Copies of this chain bind each other. A is one copy, B any other.
Amino acid sequence: MAIAEDTRERILEAAAAAFAEKGFEAATIRDICQRAGANLAAVNYHFGDKEQLYLELIQRAHRLREQQVPLPHWPAGTPAAEKLRGFIRTTMVRMVEDPAPQWQMQIMMREMFHPTKTCQALVQDFFRQHFELLLSILRELVPLESDEKLHLIGFSIIGQCLHYRVARPVVELLVGADENAGYTADLLAEHIADFSLRALGVPGRNGQPRQEAAR
């Protein structure tokens, strides 16, 4: 019983790594079971089949995301610009950092771009949650813009963040390994926030710095 739960857990761990690395079809049950030190038939016994194993993993990823890197929640009166900075920072931590095993975000991404019917709903509201929060901040920040314009602005911000997850190999190739190594969540988040707030015509933290700032 205790042992059973144990191999179940080991399989989930191994599957997480495998699915994140190679995707659903490319990852093989044989590889997963070998990494988990379990028998080939273990997946069938504990989960039924490959797809249900994957489904359970997605649900787990969804749950863990919320616990480990919750979306920020601000006290009333927080300036909208500060909220945007917080939002971007949280997003970047989720994108590039490794506080929890990073297979979670990796799988959510893969699931979004190559959807599996089984868990569309789950992944959908994961992204919708983020987007709605971002929109509410933007509405506060530039109340005069139309909804359509706000959507575009939202994508401009998300696009900047996503780039460092989705195109990381390209980034490293273009700036070199050293500079790439310095791209921490904090550094990137600050740049993206500065860039975006300026684009929105919101003055920087100390009046309007920049020009001449970095060297």
Contact = CB atoms under 8 A, between A and B. Distances in A.
Interface of A: 25-26, 112-113, 115, 124, 127-128, 131, 142, 144-146, 148-149, 151-153, 155-156, 158-164, 166-167, 169-171, 173-175, 179, 188, 191-192, 195-196, 198-201, 210-212, 214-215
B166 A113 contact: yes
A153 B201 contact: no
- A contact patch SS: helix
B155 A162 contact: no
Contact of A112 (B145, B162, B169): B169
A179 B151 contact: yes
A173 B215 contact: no
Contacts of A127: 170, 173-174
A112 B159 CA distance: 18
A201 B201 CA distance: 9
A142 B200 CA distance: 18
A124 B172 CA distance: 11
Contacts of A153: 195
A163 B153 CA distance: 12
Contacts of A196: 199
Given A195-B156, A198-B198, A148 B113 contact: no
13 contacts: A113-B166, A113-B169, A115-B169, A127-B170, A128-B174, A144-B212, A146-B214, A151-B175, A151-B179, A152-B191, A155-B160, A159-B159, A198-B198
Contacts of A156: 160, 191-192, 195
Contact of A25 (B26, B167, B192, B212): B26
Contact of A195 (B146, B151, B171, B199): B199
